[in-house]
Structure formats: C-alpha cells, structure tokens
A and B are shown apart, each in its own frame.
Chain A
C-alpha cells in the first residue's frame, strides 16, 4: 500500500510540475449578460508559473467579469479556461481548492473580529480547527494585524481591511491568488504598503498572481506582464517595459552650444532610431535612453560640441494605453452594481 501511495504522490507532484508553465490558460473566454451585453469577448491569454499578471483597463472593461469566471463564480457563455490544468466549469471544486481570492469589495464581516473572519474563511475551505487556528495566526502576523486580531472589523482602517482580505485569501495556501483591484480607494502610502505585501507573496511563496487594476502606475509597479483590456477585448499583452518600448523607446531632448546640424552624427550612435530638430532642440528617439544619452554626449564631445541641455523622458503606460485603445482611461459606462460596490469599498477604505 505504501509504495503505491508514494508513487501516487510523486506522479501528482510531477503532474503539477509539468503543467507549471501555464498556470492559467483561457481560450476564447466569453461572457454575455442577458443575451445582449458582451462583457468579455473571446479573450485568449495564459499566465506562467510565478508571475504577476495584470489586467489593465477602465471600469466596465470586463476585468471583474473575467476574474469571476476564473474563480468559478460566473459561468462563461463560451470558450474555456483552466487553472493548473483544472477546467473552471467541469472541475470547479478542484479549482476552488487551489485558488485564493481577494475581492474588490471588503467582504470581511464587520461584526466579527479579524481573527474570527480568517477562521470563517478557513471553515469555508473545510480546514480543521486545529490547523486553521495556527494558520490564521501565521497569516495575521504576515499582514501585521496580530495586535488588532480581537477587534471588530468595524474599527479597521481601509489598509487594515485590505490586509485582512489578503490573509483570508491565503488561508488555504493557494497556488494561484486572484486580486481584484487590490488598492481601490486606498491612499498613496497604504497603496505602496499593499504593493509590498503582494511582492512579498510572489517572492516568498513563489505564488502565481492574477490581478486587475485600473491604476496605470499599479500595473507598472507590480506586474511582470499585463494585458490591456478594453470593451471586453484584450488589445495587447506584454511586459510593461516591452509595451513602453514598443512605442519607439525613450525621448532624449538636447541642445548644443553652436548652431550646427548634428543629425547625421547622432543617427550613427547605437540604439538611436530617429532624430528630429525642432526650434534648435534635437528630439532623439531611442531605446534604452539611460545608456544612449551618455553615448551621445561622449560622441558629441569627441567632435568638439558642447551639450548645454539634456532631458530624458520615458513613455508611461498612459501613452501605451492611448496608443492601443485610441483614448485615455475612461470612467464611463459602468453598471449600477459596480458603481455601488466601488463606492461602498471606497467609503469603507476611507474609514466611513
């Protein structure tokens, strides 16, 4: 019996390892509400083991709908998706066992204490009390809520609630963690602190994270790869760096002392893609601006030119967003429920 048991364990391990390349896989995943409102429109993407994958898009773009399908709360209208090889519709219980969810809303029960809330989550996973009590304490320590564990959640600040949600989402030791707008309504400091917790999860547990956000700087700071989603469709996928570089790289603006044309000279320098002269200033389009700028200065000095002024601008995700969707992040066309939920979440984040 025992060798067989060991073999089973081993194959199970191997199976997970084999599939580890693609932890989440979606194929033409679609959700249509009321037979007419297409919330998610045939999207394909895959998330690799250990990466933070972000869905970036304005409110109402279909981010939460996608997450709800992946966490088995909504049934897709069309297409399929799997998590660690488990089909989200047919093997929903298996999926639920391996994922953790940190929802957009503050779902912790206001009338219960922080500790009671974590234990409640553990009970929903059927984790025996003996284990769950120990685990709850470990997690509360992780999110630095131990001093407040016996206080009712009513008294918690927005950042504390978010951390409590994080602890609840981790109670079943998930292999994949889903975060829906993890810093919605939080102030700048608390947001940065939350980012640190998320980074720590990735580093310490090698967890795969799927998150949605409509904050450009959040996607930029946290995600290894992002997918920009607009009106239910993925318009582009890639690392924030790659997406920004795809716009043609950084822009170096410089001026020199003498009025001589140096366009030809600069063009020969490595990484430089394009040089334009405008009002006596040179606009140089290049990849890796930080490396190129010193090269330019060096090359110009060799020819006896003196650089009087130089600035380097890097494209932001905002420009990427603009490029691919043709518009700035818009906050229009939200459903009644989303507005209600978000307003509620924000009000609570601010501490009523």
Chain B
C-alpha cells in the first residue's frame, strides 16, 4: 500500500540492531559483558595451573606429558579456547531471555501486529546473539594472546576466520535452542530454570576445560554428542593444535548440522507459537 517493495526479510536488520544497540550503546553493559569471559579466563586458566601439578619424571617434563594428554604443552592455551565456547553459551542464553522480556513488555505483540515476518523476529535474536559472541570471541583471542596463548605449529592468521565461522554456526544453533525453550513462556522463572539446568552440564560434559578421554564412559558418550565439544575442538585445531584437517572437517560438519536442525526447529516453532 505504501508503494514499497518488501522483501521477506525486511525488518531483520532493524530488529537485530535494536538488540545490538542495547549492548554497544550502554557502556557499562558493554564493558561488563565483554570482560566477564576475560576475567573467567584469567581466573580459571591461571589458577588451575595443571602443569605445576605434574611432576617432572626422568626423561619427560610436565610440558611433554601435557602435550601427550591434552594436545598442547600449555594448559592456559587449552583453557582459553574453552572460554570461547563458554562465551557462546552465555551470550546466546540472553537471546532466549529477551524473547520473554519482549513478550512481557508488549513489544512482541507490537511487532506481531506489523507485516514483519514471524521468522524474522526470531532470526534477529539469533543474529544479534551471534554477532555479540563473535565479537567477544575476538576479544578473548586478543587477550589470550596477551596472556601468552601458544599457537599451534602450522597456525596461519587466516585460521581466525575459521574460528569466526565455527562460532557463527554454534551460536546460531545455541540461540535457536534457547529461543525454542522460551518462545511460549510468559514468565521469566521457568525458562531461567531450564537454561540453568542445561548450561553448566553442557559446559562440563564437553572438552572445554578438560579432555574427554579422562572422563568416565557415560560422560564421554554425552560429550561426544555435545556440539560444544566439536566447537571447542575446531577452535583448538585452528589455533593451538597442529591442525588435523579431517578432524576439523568433521567438527564443522557436526556443528553445521546441529545449527541447521535447531534453527529450523526454531523457525517452525515461531510460525506456530508466536501467535497463539
């Protein structure tokens, strides 16, 4: 009616930018959310000095032992990369919560009464969480380098792009997952409890902080299905291990399939449940 030719995706950037502005235009929020993972990385990575716990045995120093067990001689480097997955999970969790807030504050109804597509409303949440995570991941990498991250033997600066790519995939998947949990909620408490229930297990049933081959069998099985395991492995392959390209391809394929499936579920749910 206004003579404007609209694409199916109109409003996507407007809604995404609305989310992002809440973050980059609020200096305190921006500072805290950016440096929270950095603080965690400093605390966990430097306090858990696993290398010092391993005595040097004749013919083998602790670095070599670590190299053989976790794939790198430096636990901090191992841990710093795990922090990237940690960022992904916590940032995407907020995208789930913001759906509930939009519903309660009436913004969701307002958006639903406009010709903007239902899936765009959801995609904007996914996209903003993804962009935020990628930004935070870059901060983590920069700070980790300053703290002494040891790159792998065949590290190439272009690998950083690969890190962004795997982050993109896992964040699309995770935020779709969290949004699917919250999409019907009108209250904060229930989805908050559900998310807290899955967050930490998801973190620890993965190789983010410790290699999975030291875990009991049942936990290894869970970890082997956990997309965070593949994400973290991909980032390690790209940054600190001597890259195993077959493994890297497997990581990308697994996380990619995870992202596609969960995002599809999210969009289908948005068609069904955004309006009741």
Q: Are A120 and B14 in contact (CB under 8 A)?
A: yes
Please tell me which one of the listed residues B1, B15, B22, B109 contacts residue A73 in the complex, with CB atoms under 8 A apart. Answer: B109
Q: Are B109 and A68 in contact (CB under 8 A)?
A: yes
The B interface is mostly helix, strand or loop, or mixed, namely loop
Q: Are B105 and A344 in contact (CB under 8 A)?
A: yes
Min CB distance B18 to A, Å, is 6
| In the complex, A227 has a CB within 8 A of chain B | no
| In the complex, A266 has a CB within 8 A of chain B | no
**Which segment of A96-104, A231-239, A288-296 sits at the interface?**
A96-104
Q: Are B10 and A126 in contact (CB under 8 A)?
A: yes
| In the complex, A74 has a CB within 8 A of chain B | yes
Please tell me which one of the listed residues A104, A125, A337 contacts residue B115 in the complex, with CB atoms under 8 A apart. Answer: A125
| In the complex, A173 has a CB within 8 A of chain B | yes
- Nearest chain A residue, comparing its CB with the CB of B13: A123
Q: Are B106 and A107 in contact (CB under 8 A)?
A: yes
When distances are taken between beta carbons in the complex, the residues of chain B under 8 Å from A172 are: 1-2, 114
Q: Are B25 and A111 in contact (CB under 8 A)?
A: yes
Given contacts A96-B114, A126-B6, contact A112 B21 (CB under 8 A): yes
The answer for the CA separation of A191 and B26 in the assembled complex, in Å, is: 33
| In the complex, B112 has a CB within 8 A of chain A | yes
Min CB distance A104 to B, Å, is 7
User: 11 interchain pairs (CB within 8 A)?
Assistant: A97-B2, A105-B105, A105-B106, A107-B107, A107-B109, A109-B107, A120-B18, A121-B114, A131-B4, A337-B104, A341-B104
| In the complex, A127 has a CB within 8 A of chain B | yes
Please tell me which one of the listed residues A96, A99, A116, A125 contacts residue B2 in the complex, with CB atoms under 8 A apart. Answer: A125
| In the complex, B152 has a CB within 8 A of chain A | no
When distances are taken between beta carbons in the complex, the residues of chain A under 8 Å from B109 are: 68, 71, 73, 103, 107
Q: How many A-B residue pairs have CB under 8 A?
A: 95
Contact with A along B1-44 (1 / 0, CB 8 A): 11010110011011100100110011000000000000000000
When distances are taken between beta carbons in the complex, the residues of chain A under 8 Å from B6 are: 126
| In the complex, B213 has a CB within 8 A of chain A | no
| In the complex, A264 has a CB within 8 A of chain B | no
When distances are taken between beta carbons in the complex, the residues of chain B under 8 Å from A340 are: 104
Given contacts A96-B115, A97-B115, A111-B26, contact A104 B106 (CB under 8 A): yes
When distances are taken between beta carbons in the complex, the residues of chain A under 8 Å from B69 are: none
When distances are taken between beta carbons in the complex, the residues of chain A under 8 Å from B115 are: 93, 96-97, 124-126
Residue positions of B touching A, CB distance < 8 A? 1-2, 4, 6-7, 10-11, 13-15, 18, 21-22, 25-26, 104-107, 109-116, 186, 275-276
Q: Are B106 and A125 in contact (CB under 8 A)?
A: no
Contact with B along A323-342 (1 / 0, CB 8 A): 00000000000000100110
Q: Are B112 and A128 in contact (CB under 8 A)?
A: no
Most chain A CB neighbours (cut-off 10 Å) among B22, B113, B115: B113
- Nearest chain A residue, comparing its CB with the CB of B5: A126
Min CB distance A139 to B, Å, is 14
| In the complex, A75 has a CB within 8 A of chain B | yes
The answer for the CA separation of A1 and B107 in the assembled complex, in Å, is: 43
Q: Are A173 and B186 in contact (CB under 8 A)?
A: no
Min CB distance A260 to B, Å, is 64
Chain A residues within 8 Å of chain B by Cβ, number:
39
Min CB distance B226 to A, Å, is 35
Min CB distance B48 to A, Å, is 38
Residue positions of A touching B, CB distance < 8 A? 68, 71-75, 93, 96-99, 101, 103-107, 109, 111-112, 116, 119-121, 123-128, 131, 168, 172-173, 178, 337, 340-341, 344
Please tell me which one of the listed residues B1, B7, B14, B112 contacts residue A123 in the complex, with CB atoms under 8 A apart. Answer: B14
Min CB distance B4 to A, Å, is 5
Most chain B CB neighbours (cut-off 10 Å) among A111, A124, A128, A344: A124
Q: Are B113 and A126 in contact (CB under 8 A)?
A: no
Please tell me which one of the listed residues A109, A119, A123, A178 contacts residue B10 in the complex, with CB atoms under 8 A apart. Answer: A123
Please tell me which one of the listed residues B11, B14, B186, B275 contacts residue A75 in the complex, with CB atoms under 8 A apart. Answer: B275
When distances are taken between beta carbons in the complex, the residues of chain A under 8 Å from B111 are: 124
When distances are taken between beta carbons in the complex, the residues of chain A under 8 Å from B106 are: 103-107, 341
Please tell me which one of the listed residues B4, B14, B116 contacts residue A128 in the complex, with CB atoms under 8 A apart. Answer: B4
The answer for the CA separation of A340 and B188 in the assembled complex, in Å, is: 12
When distances are taken between beta carbons in the complex, the residues of chain B under 8 Å from A344 are: 104-105
Q: Which 9 A/B pairs are nearest by Cβ-Cβ distance?
A: A105-B106, A123-B14, A126-B6, A126-B10, A124-B114, A71-B113, A107-B110, A96-B115, A101-B113
Q: Are B114 and A127 in contact (CB under 8 A)?
A: no
Please tell me which one of the listed residues A99, A119, A173 contacts residue B113 in the complex, with CB atoms under 8 A apart. Answer: A99
Q: Are B112 and A73 in contact (CB under 8 A)?
A: yes
Q: Are A111 and B105 in contact (CB under 8 A)?
A: no
The answer for the CA separation of A109 and B106 in the assembled complex, in Å, is: 11
- Nearest chain B residue, comparing its CB with the CB of A108: B107
Please tell me which one of the listed residues A101, A111, A126 contacts residue B110 in the complex, with CB atoms under 8 A apart. Answer: A101
Min CB distance B102 to A, Å, is 9
The answer for the CA separation of A101 and B112 in the assembled complex, in Å, is: 10
Taking A119-B14, A125-B114 as given, write out 10 further A-B residue pairs in contact, using a Cβ cutoff of 8 Å, ordered by the A residue number. Answer: A72-B275, A73-B112, A75-B275, A98-B1, A111-B25, A112-B18, A124-B111, A124-B116, A127-B4, A344-B104
The answer for the CA separation of A124 and B1 in the assembled complex, in Å, is: 14
